[in-house]
Amino acid sequence: MTQHSDSRQADRPTGRQADRPTGRQADRPTGRQADRPTVSSAGNRTLSKAKKDKNDEFYTQLVDIENELRHYRDQLRGKTIFCNCDDPFESNFFRYFALNFNTLGLKKLIATCHVKSSIAGAQLPLFDMEGLKPEGKLPYAIEINAVPDHDGDGATDLADVEYLLRHDANSSRPLEGDADYSGGDFRSRECVALLEEADIVVTNPPFSLFREYVAQLVDYGKQFLIIGNQNAITYKGVFTFIKNNKMWLGIDNGGTKWFRVPNDYDIQTESRKKIKDGVKYFSMGSVVWFTNMDNPKRHDSIPLFKKYSSAEYPAYDNYDAIDVARVADIPIDYDGVMGVPITFLDKYNPEHFELVGSNRDVGQDPSGVYGRGSMLHGKETFKRLFIRRKTGA
Ligand SMILES: C[S@@+](CC[C@H](N)C(=O)[O-])C[C@H]1O[C@@H](n2cnc3c(N)ncnc32)[C@H](O)[C@@H]1O
């Protein structure tokens, strides 16, 4: 992630909401609205839910999965991988793990599919689905214990995966759901049982359920690599995990990622839209990987060179901390608390810095000091994380 994005993009006090997948207001200066429902009636709620569900339908490209997953190969060996927001016939997560099953030395691959998505079978045909995909509306699970080289061409390819799905009746089964959740919902009992069996969960979950999704992974003590919006860093219920080093960022967080979307997906900003070979894509500049798996980036140092001066680093009106507008400008000789852009997390090494709080959501700060908007000369600043250098670092 570039320093450019520190100041211009990631943490605008009043970020534009138009194209946000969740339509949340998390960027507002006060940060107090982030968790409040904005609907006022049952009708509005239904509409809003439908909109959210629809906005959750964007699909990760194989290249983005490869770019991140290649850093964790050793940690995947012998493991059971669970993609629990992934229709195997649409998801490139399933495709990645099925194709690399043998190379990665996986023990098992499980994918579960929620209710049929609006583009199921229509726009992302990873396989020739004739007679292959379970019929009807029922969501289903696919479990793979091995991917033999059926066609004997010396490699594992989609043809081998397709052969397996066609001929191994045990690999696919419908999911029924329970009294609380529909079939394939990551919170349903069937999916939780599969979660318990899994070692590592890898997916791009629905952004609209991100907090709940993350909380479940942490509750069940699972390793995970999941895609989320950078703004989620300061969400109530997410930041606490980050602060307590139960979750951090993956590696490939920079740049613009393009996600495949249904043709009727509403994208209001032209520059975030592209159509290639008749397929529509939506770009989200602030998408990051969240994980609790170790990676080399987490042990890197930030190259810092600036020295503290009170003129260059003003103190906040309402915190005993200084404001540092760019991560690259963190002073090397300041031992107190510093407010830095949330993009700091992309460079965070817990051996060098301690995360003290964020200026969002007082509920997540037990000391009651941080969590309120940070004021500088009477004006509220952008989103900030509060950090302190570790002794001797
Ligand atoms: C952001 S999309 C990503 C899809 C896929 N993981 C990928 O990256 O290509 C999130 C997916 O989660 C599914 N989903 C929504 N709510 C869900 C739930 N409660 N349980 C499981 N999946 C859900 C949506 O249908 C959607 O396909």
Helices within the chain (DSSP H only)? 3-8, 42-55, 62-69, 73-76, 92-99, 101-104, 158-167, 189-197, 210-219, 239-243
- How far the first Cα of the chain sits from its last, in Å, is 23
- Residue 11, ligand 1, Cβ within 6 A: no
Q: Which helix (H) or strand (E) holds 108?
A: strand 108-112
Among residues 297, 319, 349, the one where a domain terminates is 297
Q: Are 230 and 288 in contact (CB under 8 A)?
A: yes
- Residue 138, ligand 1, Cβ within 6 A: no
Among residues 265, 297, 329, the one where a domain terminates is 297
The atom number, within ligand 1, closest to the CA of 56 reads 1
Range(s) of the domain holding residue 370 = 298-389
| CA-derived radius of gyration, the chain | 22
16 lies in some domain: no
Ligand 1 centre and the CA of 114: distance in Å?
7
Ligand 1 centre and the CA of 299: distance in Å?
32
Q: How many angstroms separate the CA atoms of 113 and 111, rounded?
A: 7
- Specify whether 79 is located in the same domain as 224: yes
- Specify whether 159 is located in the same domain as 274: yes
- Residue 203, ligand 1, Cβ within 6 A: yes
Q: Are 289 and 310 in contact (CB under 8 A)?
A: no
Tokens of 206: 């629905």
- Residue 64, ligand 1, Cβ within 6 A: no
Q: Are 386 and 338 in contact (CB under 8 A)?
A: yes
pLDDT at 22: 34
- Residue 93, ligand 1, Cβ within 6 A: yes
- Specify whether 247 is located in the same domain as 156: yes
Q: How many angstroms separate the CA atoms of 216 and 14, rounded?
A: 30
Among residues 259, 279, 297, the one where a domain terminates is 297
- Residue 91, ligand 1, Cβ within 6 A: yes
Domain count, the chain: 2
Distances (CA, A) of 351 to 60, 297, 308, 385: 32, 12, 21, 17
Q: Whose CA is nearest to atom 20 of ligand 1?
A: 185
363 lies in some domain: yes
Q: Whose CA is nearest to atom 9 of ligand 1?
A: 59
Ligand 1 centre and the CA of 166: distance in Å?
24
DSSP 8-state assignment for residue 315: B
Residue pLDDT tens, the chain, 393 long = 333 333 333 444 433 333 333 333 333 333 333 333 333 455 555 556 656 666 788 899 999 999 999 999 999 999 999 999 998 878 899 999 999 999 999 999 999 988 755 544 444 455 544 445 555 556 889 999 988 877 777 777 777 887 777 777 667 888 989 999 999 999 999 999 999 999 999 999 999 999 999 999 999 999 999 999 999 999 988 999 999 999 999 999 978 899 998 888 888 899 999 999 888 999 987 899 999 999 999 999 999 999 999 999 999 999 899 999 999 999 999 999 999 999 999 999 999 999 999 998 777 777 778 888 899 999 999 999 999 999 877
Residues with Cβ within 8 Å of 49's Cβ and at least 6 positions away in sequence, in order, are none
Q: How many angstroms separate the CA atoms of 227 and 213, rounded?
A: 11
- Residue 117, ligand 1, Cβ within 6 A: yes
78 lies in some domain: yes
- Specify whether 191 is located in the same domain as 312: no
The atom number, within ligand 1, closest to the CA of 85 reads 22
26 lies in some domain: no
- Specify whether 126 is located in the same domain as 263: yes
Tokens of 390: 């570790």
Q: Are 343 and 358 in contact (CB under 8 A)?
A: no
Ligand 1 centre and the CA of 55: distance in Å?
10
The atom number, within ligand 1, closest to the CA of 185 reads 20
- Specify whether 284 is located in the same domain as 319: no
207 lies in some domain: yes
- Specify whether 187 is located in the same domain as 115: yes
Q: Are 52 and 20 in contact (CB under 8 A)?
A: no
Q: How many angstroms separate the CA atoms of 53 and 51, rounded?
A: 5
- Specify whether 285 is located in the same domain as 382: no
pLDDT at 4: 36
Among residues 229, 30, 252, 202, the alpha carbon closest in space to that of 238 is found at: 229
Tokens of 359: 């200026």
9 lies in some domain: no
CA dihedral 205, 206, 208, 210 (to 10 degrees): -10
Q: What is the DSSP track for 323-373?
A: E-SSGGG--TT--SEEEE-GGGGGG--TTTEEEEEESS-GGG-TTSSSSSP
- Residue 186, ligand 1, Cβ within 6 A: yes
- Specify whether 85 is located in the same domain as 211: yes
The atom number, within ligand 1, closest to the CA of 21 reads 1
pLDDT at 136: 53
- Specify whether 218 is located in the same domain as 341: no
Counting Cβ atoms within 10 Å, is residue 233 exposed (0-12), middle (13-18) or buried (19+)? buried
Which of 56, 178, 217 should be mutated for ligand 1, with most atoms under 8 A from CB? 56
pLDDT at 123: 43
Q: Whose CA is nearest to atom 15 of ligand 1?
A: 206
- Specify whether 280 is located in the same domain as 137: yes
- Specify whether 184 is located in the same domain as 320: no
15 lies in some domain: no
41 lies in some domain: no
